[in-house]
Amino acid sequence: ATSVKSYEYVILGGGNAAGYAARQFVEKHGLSGHKLAVISRESVAPYERPALSKAYLTANPPTRLPAFHTCVAGGGAPQTPDWYAKNGIDLLLSTEIVDCDLNSKCLTAKDGSKYGYGKLLIATGSDALHLDELGMQGAHLGGIHYLREIAEADKLYEAMKACAGKHAVVVGGGYIGLECTAALVINGVRVTMVFPEPHVMARLFTPEIAAHYERIYAQKGVNFIKGTVVDSFADENGSGQVKYVRLKNGPVLEADLVVVGVGAKPRTTLLEGALAMEARGIKVDGHLRTSHADVFGAGDVITFPLKMYGNRMARVEHVGHARQSAMHAVDVMMGATTEPYDYLPFFYSRVFHLSWKFWGDTPAQAKTIVVGEMNPKLVAVWIDQDGHVVGTFIESGTEHDENKLKELARTRPKANVARLEEAAAANDVDGFLN
């Protein structure tokens, strides 16, 4: 029989959450001596995934590993494989787990090797939603790109360089759509964006905020086709390479390159039937414990209670949550805290010279007040039905502005609507902020 290599702690996954969890084990809890394994399907040590749609594609020269291994965000040194070795952590790369037996506490890899654990942290993240999984005709063709892991970023980078002066179709108007469009434009590719909503970033931006970003994209030559989706892709003369993108309402676009960003799906398959699920994610309690003893979760894959919103259950696909939930889960696993995880939702993006941040919540009935024309600042505040500030947004803020807006989203004071509207009418961003 295959022997089982056993660890006190195993982190399943090698992404953002895994990197921050490993650091927490070492730096806060002094773990050493091969008690911890990080098991990842990827061939490289955990890295800051957000870089893949930013400096990896746009910097000159482009950022490459080891520069953005975790945990460089916030100024640490990159955790290269040497760091894991030096700290007595077994980093098992190119190792895909295909079976999780929670009763015998044993994970089985694709090659048959087995790993036992005392406590398990599930950090399998999410994957891009692929159009061929939805049965779309032509979605298997070459030249159709997704972006989740580093190998995909390498392929996209090469394809983009080969397409300078040519035309790309970007499918999706969310984070990937906007960040990859910016990267393509910076690399001299002409872009048409296609998405079903009336404006970009519909899951967060109001029409007014979106209009400012769309204006800047349009000035850079980006063409928008809104309110429709792709029906199928086709090649030319059986080349196997995408050439035509047919839209649902009829028109056919020509494309030398396609980038698809139509959302993500949490990687839960391994645990289905074994753990309680909610809202497509692995359900955890306020201490990041799953429904099975000694199994914890962090990052994109979990559905967790948002303490500050009355424990409303949520799944969050953002790096701030991956980092914080991972560190908190490790503290719980080590018996170092009895506090629940208390996350203030935080989202951000960077494209071209722009950089926005958002904190808090956007309830459906909220009123939004927007001030500024992005020259360079724009601020927005979401006010709930009871008149409290619940969400805050800023483009091109200073550290002082950002701290102030983060604090407002966290403390949710009663809004002085008259004063805010006055500042909005006068276009007085600094008055609005002070």
The residues binding ligand NAD (CB under 6 A) are 53, 126, 171-177, 179, 194-197, 202-203, 229-230, 261-264, 317-318, 347, 349
Shortest separation between residue 92's beta carbon and ligand FDA, angstroms? 9
Using CB atoms within 10 A of its CB, is residue 113 exposed (0-12), middle (13-18) or buried (19+)?
middle
Shortest separation between residue 176's beta carbon and ligand NAD, angstroms? 3
Question: Which of these ranges, 33-41, 134-142, 229-237, 375-383, lies near ligand FDA under the rule CB under 6 A?
Answer: 33-41
Q: Binding to ligand FDA by residue 299, rule CB under 6 A?
A: yes
- Residue number, 175 or 382, with CB nearest to ligand FDA: 175
- Residue number, 122 or 424, with CB nearest to ligand FDA: 122
Q: Are strands 230-234 and 244-247 parallel, antiparallel or unpaired?
A: antiparallel
Question: Which of these ranges, 27-35, 37-45, 166-174, 327-335, lies near ligand FDA under the rule CB under 6 A?
Answer: 37-45
Q: Which of 130, 142, 135 is nearest to 234 (CA)?
A: 142
Q: Which of 31, 1, 30, 28 is nearest to 10 (CA)?
A: 31
Strand partners, 379: 371, 394
> Mutual orientation of helices 319-333 and 16-27 as an angle, nearest 10°?
40
Q: Binding to ligand FDA by residue 124, rule CB under 6 A?
A: yes
Shortest separation between residue 346's beta carbon and ligand FDA, angstroms? 7
Question: Which of these ranges, 36-44, 77-85, 204-212, 229-237, lies near ligand FDA under the rule CB under 6 A?
Answer: 36-44
Shortest separation between residue 132's beta carbon and ligand FDA, angstroms? 18
In the region spanning residues 51 to 110, those forming contacts with ligand FDA, defined by CB under 6 A, are 52-53, 96-97
Query: Which amino acid would we find at residue 127?
Result: D
Residue 261 interacts with which of ligand NAD, ligand FDA, none, CB < 5 to 8 Å by class: ligand NAD
Question: Which of these ranges, 10-18, 201-209, 387-395, 410-418, lies near ligand FDA under the rule CB under 6 A?
Answer: 10-18
- Residue number, 57 or 371, with CB nearest to ligand FDA: 57
In angstroms, the CA 346 to CA 318 distance is 8
Q: Binding to ligand FDA by residue 148, rule CB under 6 A?
A: yes
Per-residue binding string, ligand FDA, 231-270, x by CB under 6 A, is ------------------------------------x--x
Where do contacts with ligand FDA occur on this chain (CB under 6 A)? Answer: 13-18, 39-42, 49-50, 52-53, 96-97, 123-126, 147-148, 267, 270, 299-301, 317-320, 322, 347-349
